Structure 1
Amino acid sequence: MFFSLVPDRFYPWVKAFHVIAIIAWMAGLLYLPRLFVYHADAEVGSVQSETFKVMERRLHHAIIAPAMMLSWILGLWLAWRGFGFSGGWLHAKIAAVVLLSAITGYLARGVRVFSEDGNTRSARHWRMVNEVPTLLMIAIVILVVVKPF
């Protein structure tokens, strides 16, 4: 029934769910590296370290990964339906989202490494990693809203 809506009415719904998925994805990307900052300073095997492992795994598996997948699916549909995959700003946005996905993969690896007590990165490293999603988000929002080229 939902898919039987006329295309003109369907597009804003897809766009709304795309934005919701992006917000969830970004929230996870901003929180997970902060967990890593604190986890990096926790003693291996401590209650605190084990709690961080559960938090990191749940955040990644229940929020970040599904939100990223939904963002991609809906975003590609919007790019096709709304813009025919044309426009320099859209190509730049997709490139930035590819980088955001790569950061997501790097953080997923971090979840696995921390879960195996194998982290060798400092808290400072994870603080710096925490800034990358923010910078990419700024670029993506400017590209989408301003459409500079």
Structure 2
Amino acid sequence: MLWVKALHIIAVICWFAVLFYLPRLFVYHAMSDNQAVKDQLKIMERKLYRGIGIPSLWATLLFGGWLVHFQWPYYAASTWFWIKMALVILLVGYHHVCGFYLRQLRDEQCTKSHVFFRWFNEFPTIILLVSVILVVLKQPI
């Protein structure tokens, strides 16, 4: 079980690295007027999202589900766990919204400003803070 927990934590760290960095790339993309810079950012965004983001999302869900399986009766009865699951669902949605913006930026159809993406970039930080507190304290905030 400890190996599964370690793999879950590693996957979460990798996933959050993407959720923190990809919107930062969107900020630079939205700010740039240089086509060569935008083309380079498109490559970086795609590789980050597809090469690290999607695999780490799936690994997080797989190892997290595996962990829950070991003690399902405990988790099923824990309010903090269901709140955390709601936050995970929000993060999966955020991940897909990042994919949506990635495609818009790739196709040069995005109308969002760098200021929007700066604020957009804060969402996973809030979710991370609340999730860690829930897991460590094992009770609703």
Alignment gaps of 5+ in structure 2: none
User: How far did 1:41 drift?
Assistant: 1.2
Inter-partner Cα distance in structure 1 for 2:56 and 2:135? 19
Deviations 1:32-84 (A, max 9, x none): 0000001001127x100000000000000011111011101111111121343
CA radius of gyration, larger in: 1
1:50 aligns with 2:50: no
1:61 aligns with 2:50: yes
1:13 aligns with 2:3: yes
Runs ≥4 in structure 1, deviation > 4 angstroms?
none
1:98-113, aligned counterparts within 5 Å? 98-113=89-104
1:78 aligns with 2:67: yes
Inter-partner Cα distance in structure 1 for 2:96 and 2:71? 28
User: How far did 1:130 drift?
Assistant: 0.4
Match of 2:30? Answer: 40
How well do the aligned residues superpose, as a CA RMSD in angstroms? Answer: 1.1
The structure 2 residue matched to 1:134, chosen from 122, 125, 133, is: 125
Q: SS of the counterpart of 2:16?
A: helix
Alignment gaps of 5+ in structure 1: 1-10
